[in-house]
Amino acid sequence: MNQPLYLKPNVIIEPLINQWYAWSYLISPATAAMYIANSHVPIMQSFIAAPQLHHDALKNPAMTGSPFINHNPSQVEDIRVLLETTQKQQAQMLELAQAIEDLEKLLAAHPQGYSLEPLYSQIPKPLRGYVEMVQDSNNHPSIRFIEGLLYRSPYYNRANQSVNLYLGDGDKRAFVLSTPRLEDDQSIHLKIAFSDRRLDQLFQMRHTPQPYNDIQETLQIQPHQESIFAEFFTTTPPNPEPDYTGEAVRVRYFGHACVLIQTESVSILCDPIISYPHDSGINRYTYENLPPVIDYVLLTHNHQDHVMLETLLQLRHKIKTVVVPKSNKGILIDPSLKLMLQQIGFADIREIDELEVINLTEGYITALPFLGEHGDLNIGAKAAYLVNLKGRSILCAADSNNIEPQLYSHLQQIFGDIDVLFIGMECEGAPYTWAYGALLTNQVPRKIAKTRRLDGSDSSRAIALVQQLHPQQVYVYAMGQEPWLTFITSIIYTAESQAIIESNKLIEYCHSQEILSKRLYGCEEIYLTPNSQPSFILANIKTPPLQGEGWGGVSSIQSLLSELQRLDIRIWLEDTDSTPKLRCNAPKGVLTQNLKVQLQERKAEIIEFIHNCQQPKVEIDWEQETTLDPTINPPSPSSLPSSYSSLLLTGATGFIGAFLLRELLNKTTASVYCLIKSENLETATQRIIKTLKDYQIWDSSYLERIIPIVGDLTQPKLGLSELEFQNLANQIDVIYHNGARVNHTEPYNRLKSANVLGTQEIFRLASQSKLKPVHLISSTSIFAANNNSNSQVTEDANLDDYGIPIGGYSQSKWASEKLAINAINRGIPVNIYRLGAVSGDSKTGAFNQNDFLYKLLLGYVQLGSIPDTPMPLEILPVDYVSQAIVELSKIPSTQRIFHIIQPKPISSDIVFEQLKKIGIEIDKTSYHQWRNQILEIAQNSPKHILYPLIPLLPRNRTTSEIPTNKKLQFDNSKTQNLLNQLIPPPTINETLIQTYLSHLIQQNWIKTKLPS
């Protein structure tokens, strides 16, 4: 049977670890060991000793969520076998748990305040090298786990992971955290790691059909499983949710704490926990109602009903970025959500600190402090999220407990009033030992545990929160009321339940104040009309709302700056001659005459406003940015083809890419697959042809060997379907990765998806199916000097010895190369080609019109002047560069990094001389005067050729500003020795400059006559 089928919507897919329902604390190795030893084993031992007691206890609904196994007493032998298997297969985890307890006791017995160094020799063997012992400022010792190392130790074993599939019938599911899953004739246990991409292929079948035989073969379904497995599929297609294209901000409640916030351009899902359909149950949204792409998933805190692995794994193929709160590094009770998600296959995880901002096209996301709900434990991985889109603000406060009202007063002063508040009010809460007892090495007296609860706000605290934040709408959520949640929350309410009584009081108060309010249940849809005056975000934190009316007031400046931001007009202060000056950079045609007048008339006010605003530096976690997805690993055994018949080239419609494509077609016999961002294959083909024609290098014979692939570097799997990605991986033998978004004025975050994540997807492709060499086109701009760096940068230089470069583009190429080094360390063969300045074709003069040198040449002509401070011309013609890359890539060599730079630069005076020779009137002037001339012209001429380069022109160009030992010089002796044996070295001479000028004249960009 090879008919395309869909996965039935009521197929329940439970992730398991050692046959227990998986949640985050069972993945992190240290916490997993403690739960196995202190929860799973004792529960199973208890059931074996008294199975009838467990069975009888669970007849009382109040005991739901207690440590009783929900199996019939007749299954006691099955549990006995599981216990014995666990004790045998998890022996080292049990030893780890015991070692943690022993080390805690060792620390407790140590004289307070004295050095802990003598204790390192006494650390139990299982923990040796995996922990650091530390003391706080009050001399309280504790263990700091090196969690990243534990994930790479025998204590993290993906073989313990599996998934349990069965058909659901209604909403009723027994509580899962205290009951292991046993195999039966209605379910299938697949021994497959959570990070395995085959799961994505299965989950995609909820909306995209695949041939049944393919998925059966992919998942290696055994003959005895086939009859059950076939029941999981249907020919009936789902009813997909149409793309949201409305003007309003749409907010949908999916149950519990799951909220979907959408505009036509972005989708944000908070605490995903999605219901399966139930025809006779209460109304709800299901997987069918989610968009095809989820841009951001926000996780508020590390509890099993907010980090819901069952849902997250099923959505992984849709999710671009997961945002998680930052944990307290290495604390047992506060494991890293970022590390956990990386290990189970999520590629882009953004760890966010309190008040850190993620800027979006239409607003921002920021994390707010979150008090309560964790029994006073020192847990950092918790955050409420304030989402601002189109000027409307939505606060997903999760289970925040308003213990300290002054906190929200501070936040209100920064962010102003909000539009919609979502708040959980499970105000009784279980004692904190319910969730954390297995992690505690000392017995907690019951009377103490009862005072420290997992609770949210009651009515008085929630009302105080409303009074502080002044929301227009208030919704009580995260109550666990929905019937499909009992299996994970164990909550069953009545009208007399304290949480219901307290939430009713909040709703009544809101109604008395004419605030729209209700307790959510099942599903809800809310529309927020865009705010005509959206909040102004300066740098990373919104400025406090200030009073003022009319054009003379501060509020009007905020409106003006908001309008500039909306139009992508960049303004900044430059400290010129000790006096701040206002600078502006705008896209062509956007800066209207009215805006110019406002900027000129109100310059002093704007300078003062920006000068007085705090602009905290946006911190980027470079370690996170340059960590290669752990699921990317070369196949074993790894063998490379001796020759290749097909290759992949990215960036073929760029300047270097076009010449690289020509060179590959001329110097190899391979078919060249070209990844092109386009609507369809026909358009992609036309783009390639047009690009090569524009650069005067097209040959119609190329067409039969060019195979366009419609894809996107910014998307997972390069924007291809699972099947397309796999087919491409099977077909190609080598990859030339040249594609990148090139913009020297954009910040790193705008370039990351194409230049960094795109590179990661290339390495995923290289390691898929069969191992493929990757030839990565990089840049010398990735290096920056620091106090420890050598000024002579060789091909073998260690990137870590140098600083992180300045500028978003250079930073993105630096991060891309760091990923490449990680890939090499994992066994993926990568050659890196660091390019210097690339100029036009040496034969035709064809130029990249966005090139810095091209704009500078035309800028000299338009200005009629050139700086009198000569600079070295280190350009290389593009035809030489592409030839060098291809020739180097074909030779067997142990050298993996090449510097393709001009070995013999000459003075820029040659440009001045050749311009004069063709009759261009041009003068030499000081760099200071020349730059000021550009700045004056730019004030009124945004179409000037040099206008986009203004932010890149330094205030001064003098060698005295930078010590000689900090100026980097690039050595390419190893590369050049190889190249000299292959192709003639390039030269910069009068002939080359005249070729370039001739091209500019022929294109009518320079008005003059060539000398006879």
**What pLDDT is stored for residue 199 in this prediction?**
96
Q: Within its chain, how far is the Cα of 974 from the centroid? A: 37
Q: How many residues does the chain have?
A: 1012
Quote the strand ranges of 227-283, DSSP E: 233-234, 249-255, 258-262, 267-270
Q: At what angle do helices 808-825 and 758-766 cross, to 10 degrees?
A: 20
**What pLDDT is stored for residue 534 in this prediction?**
41
Exposed/middle/buried for residue 12 (C-beta within 10 Å: 0-12, 13-18, 19+): middle
DSSP state of 91: H
**Backbone φ, ψ for residue 4 (5° rounding):** -60, 130
**What pLDDT is stored for residue 579 in this prediction?**
58
**What pLDDT is stored for residue 548 in this prediction?**
33
Can you list the residues of the chain whose pLDDT is less than 70? 1, 532-559, 562-563, 565-568, 573-580, 587-589, 608-619, 637-639, 641-642, 744-746, 785-790, 850-853, 935-967, 1007-1012
Token pair belonging to 256: 């519990």
Q: What is the pTM of this model?
A: 0.58
Give the closest residue to 938 by CA, choosing from 583, 645, 599. 583
Contact 186, 232 (CB under 8 A): no
Residue pointed to by tokens 């695949």: 210
> In DSSP terms, which residues pair with 924 in a beta bridge?
866
Contact 419, 446 (CB under 8 A): no
**DSSP calls for 468-497:** HH--SEEEEE----SGGGHHHH-----TT-
Rg (CA), the chain: 32
Task: Determine how many CB atoms are found less than 10 A away from the CB of residue 218.
Answer: 15
Token pair belonging to 470: 């002044």
Indicate the pairing of strand 473-477 with strand 516-519.
parallel
Token pair belonging to 245: 């294209």
Indicate the pairing of strand 876-877 with strand 838-839.
parallel
SS3 annotation, 845-863: CCCCCCCHHHHHHHHHHHH
Give the closest residue to 188 by CA, choosing from 319, 48, 4, 7. 7
**What pLDDT is stored for residue 545 in this prediction?**
36
Q: From CA 319, how far away is CA 340, in angstroms rounded?
A: 16
Torsion sign (Cα): 628, 630, 631, 637? positive
Torsion sign (Cα): 230, 235, 238, 243? positive
Token pair belonging to 301: 């805190």
Task: Determine how many CB atoms are found less than 10 A away from the CB of residue 766.
Answer: 25
**What pLDDT is stored for residue 325 in this prediction?**
97
**DSSP calls for 184-213:** -TTEEEE---TT-THHHHHHHTTTS-EEHH
**What pLDDT is stored for residue 242 in this prediction?**
87
First to last CA, the chain: 77
Q: From CA 962, how far away is CA 786, in angstroms rounded?
A: 11
Q: From CA 734, how far away is CA 728, in angstroms rounded?
A: 11
Residues 6+ apart with CB under 8 A from 264: 243, 244, 245, 246, 247
Exposed/middle/buried for residue 963 (C-beta within 10 Å: 0-12, 13-18, 19+): exposed
Q: From CA 591, how far away is CA 336, in angstroms rounded?
A: 46
Composition of the chain by helix, strand, coil, percent to 5: 40, 20, 45
Contact 667, 749 (CB under 8 A): no
Contact 16, 189 (CB under 8 A): yes
Residues 6+ apart with CB under 8 A from 191: 159, 162
Contact 254, 273 (CB under 8 A): yes
Indicate the pairing of strand 233-234 with strand 363-368.
unpaired
**What pLDDT is stored for residue 202 in this prediction?**
96
DSSP state of 238: P
DSSP alpha helix (H) spans, 333-404: 337-343
**What distance separates the 2 farthest-apart alpha carbons in the chain?**
106
Residue-wise pLDDT for 789-842, tens only, equals: 567 899 998 888 888 887 788 899 999 999 999 999 999 999 999 998 898 999
**DSSP calls for 729-765:** HHH-SEEEE------TTS-HHHHHIIIIIHHHHHHHH
